[in-house]
């Protein structure tokens, strides 16, 4: 009963109408014969609240310098040559390379008090994707997999987790299995590898039918379970390949000015793809910007990297707003750690997990504010420290997922989505 209602309601993942909703409920209630509208409402309250929630992670691989992004310290020794610019929110200044993002600061919360202990790329990246430090004994599911498991619509025919670019350590679904593995898109804007059908669709359907018949013998002889799960997988893959939603991967019908706004870069195209996928019903999209590991020549490199990310990030958030998607889509900008405030002899900055920045927008996050503060020299968090658990608990909250809900690891150990963490106070409107 409840399932059928849920599926009916999720038929149009981004915005069912009141009418279709009422219609659905009355049909469902009639079928049940006894439940009132209110009963159904409370039964489904959780799921309804989550309807259409999604998250886009903008991942700055290598560890972006907080001083060259969202926590500049101009005029100090540690600040280096990086200047700060005003944003459209009085009193909030960010680094000079983020002009477009500065104009939408009213949508953003800048967290300047991220703090962690992992200073190794792989381990920190894993931790910032799973909430756990790596361990040989269990492959933790990514936060994305956990969220997708809670939020996905079972009838949806595209993957619920998509990674634009080679997935990061920790981005795997771990023990949650294949339904939540990130689907990898190598080049945003084009159909992903092996998705394009090589023969016409009639022949494709014919082949799939023949495959079913070829499998019959093996199933009857004693491999029924193997054949069944294989067919389920092929059903899923074929549904995706033949899906009317598959066009979301291609930009053919996207106006030139929209494409231009996102920027002619891999990252910009990734952001546009993320918007299209979320609009179609994908739960989690990660867009990766690489090479932020600026041990040398930090200022030139960070400036260039920032200018590559700025247009895509700003366009994404404005576009989501314009399309009415930002209320239910969370956008998170972060990397695995920050960089040392002290400038090294190669005008670089090294790994620094003690105090760094992250940015959030949408899904109820209050716009136009700064949370937390670092000391004048940037070496320490002096106000409202936010650790990885707190950040993850807040992400869960934005998506209406209980951070304490558990999955069972293969060894039978219950694992919470977030082991420990409190929602960042003041983050949400």
The footprint of other proteins (CB under 8 A) covers: 122-123, 134-137, 139, 159, 169, 177-178, 181, 183-184, 193-199, 203, 206-207, 210-211, 213-218, 220-224, 226-227, 229-230, 232-234, 236-238, 240-241, 410-411, 413
Count, in order, helices (H) and strands (E) of the chain. Answer: 12, 16
Q: Are 97 and 328 in contact (CB under 8 A)?
A: no
| Least distance from other proteins to the Cβ atom of residue 294, Å | 19
Q: Which of 86, 216 has the CB closer to other proteins?
A: 216
Q: Are 371 and 426 in contact (CB under 8 A)?
A: yes
Q: Are 96 and 370 in contact (CB under 8 A)?
A: no
| Least distance from other proteins to the Cβ atom of residue 361, Å | 30
Residue by residue, DSSP assigns 108-177 as EEEEEEE--S--SHHHHHHHHHHSS--BTTB-PPPHHHHHHHHH--TT--S-SEEEESSPPTT-S-GGG-
Q: Which residues contact 190 (CB under 8 A, 6 or more apart)?
A: 249, 250
Q: Which of 204, 428 has the CB closer to other proteins?
A: 204
| Least distance from other proteins to the Cβ atom of residue 234, Å | 6
| Least distance from other proteins to the Cβ atom of residue 4, Å | 26
- Looking at the DSSP bridge assignments, the partners of residue 84 are 95
Q: Which of 133, 303 has the CB closer to other proteins?
A: 133
Q: Which of 199, 260 has the CB closer to other proteins?
A: 199
Q: Which of 70, 292 has the CB closer to other proteins?
A: 292
Q: Rounded distance, CA 289 to CA 277, Å?
A: 18
| Least distance from other proteins to the Cβ atom of residue 12, Å | 24
**What are the backbone angles phi and psi of residue 181, rounded to the nearest 5°?**
-65, 140
| Least distance from other proteins to the Cβ atom of residue 31, Å | 33
Q: Is 223 in a helix, a strand, or coil? A: helix
Q: Which of 50, 239 has the CB closer to other proteins?
A: 239
Per the listing, tokens 């920027």 go with 263
Q: Are 292 and 61 in contact (CB under 8 A)?
A: yes
Q: Which of 221, 264 has the CB closer to other proteins?
A: 221
Phi-psi domain of 417 (left: phi exceeds 0; alpha: psi -120 through 50; beta: other): alpha
| Least distance from other proteins to the Cβ atom of residue 421, Å | 16
Q: Rounded distance, CA 387 to CA 421, Å?
A: 8
Q: Which of 2, 122 has the CB closer to other proteins?
A: 122
Q: Report the DSSP pairing between strands 161-164 and 284-289.
A: parallel
| Least distance from other proteins to the Cβ atom of residue 426, Å | 27
Torsion of CA 411, 414, 418, 423, to 10 degrees: -170
Of the candidates 379, 372, 391, the one whose C-alpha atom is nearest the C-alpha of residue 128 is: 391
| Least distance from other proteins to the Cβ atom of residue 181, Å | 6
| Least distance from other proteins to the Cβ atom of residue 311, Å | 31
Q: Which of 49, 203 has the CB closer to other proteins?
A: 203
Q: Which of 236, 259 has the CB closer to other proteins?
A: 236
């Amino acid at each position: 009963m409840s399932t059928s209602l849920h599926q009916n309601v999720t038929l149009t993942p981004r915005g069912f109408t009141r009418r279709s909703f009422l219609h659905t409920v009355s049909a469902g209630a009639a079928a049940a014969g006894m439940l009132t509208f209110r009963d159904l409402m409370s039964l489904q309250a959780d799921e309804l609240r989550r309807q259409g929630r999604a998250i886009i992670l903008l991942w700055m691989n290598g560890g972006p310098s907080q001083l060259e992004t969202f926590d500049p310290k101009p005029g100090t020794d540690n600040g280096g040559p990086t200047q700060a610019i005003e944003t459209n929110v009085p009193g909030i200044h960010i680094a000079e390379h983020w002009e477009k993002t500065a104009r939408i600061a009213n949508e953003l919360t800048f967290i300047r008090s991220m703090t962690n202990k992992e200073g190794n790329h792989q381990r920190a990246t894993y931790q910032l994707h799973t909430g756990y430090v790596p361990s040989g004994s269990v492959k933790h599911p990514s936060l994305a997999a956990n969220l997708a498991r809670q939020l996905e619509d079972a009838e949806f025919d595209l993957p619920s987790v998509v990674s634009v670019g080679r997935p990061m350590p920790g981005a795997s679904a771990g023990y949650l299995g294949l339904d939540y593995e990130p689907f990898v898109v190598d080049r945003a804007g084009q159909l992903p590898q092996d998705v394009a059908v090589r023969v016409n669709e009639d022949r494709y359907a014919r082949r799939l039918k023949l495959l079913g018949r070829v499998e019959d013998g093996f199933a009857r002889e004693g491999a029924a379970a193997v054949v069944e799960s294989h067919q389920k997988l092929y059903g899923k893959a074929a549904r995706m390949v033949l899906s009317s939603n598959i066009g979301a991967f291609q930009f053919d019908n996207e106006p030139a000015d929209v494409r231009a706004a996102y920027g002619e870069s891999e990252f910009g195209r990734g952001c546009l793809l993320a918007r299209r996928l979320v609009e179609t019903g994908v739960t989690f999209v990660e867009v990766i910007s690489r090479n932020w590991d600026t041990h040398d020549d930090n200022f030139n490199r960070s400036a260039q990297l920032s200018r590559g990310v700025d247009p895509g990030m700003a366009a994404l958030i404005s576009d989501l707003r314009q399309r009415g998607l930002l209320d239910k889509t969370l956008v998170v900008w972060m990397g695995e750690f920050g960089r040392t405030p002290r400038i090294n002899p190669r005008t670089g900055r090294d790994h620094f997990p003690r105090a760094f920045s992250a940015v959030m927008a949408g899904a109820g996050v209050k716009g136009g504010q700064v949370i937390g503060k670092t000391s004048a020299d940037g070496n320490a968090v002096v106000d409202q420290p936010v650790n990885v658990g707190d950040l993850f608990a807040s992400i869960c909250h934005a998506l209406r997922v209980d951070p304490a809900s558990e999955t069972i690891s293969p060894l039978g150990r219950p694992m919470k989505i977030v082991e420990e963490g409190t929602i960042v106070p003041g983050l949400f409107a």
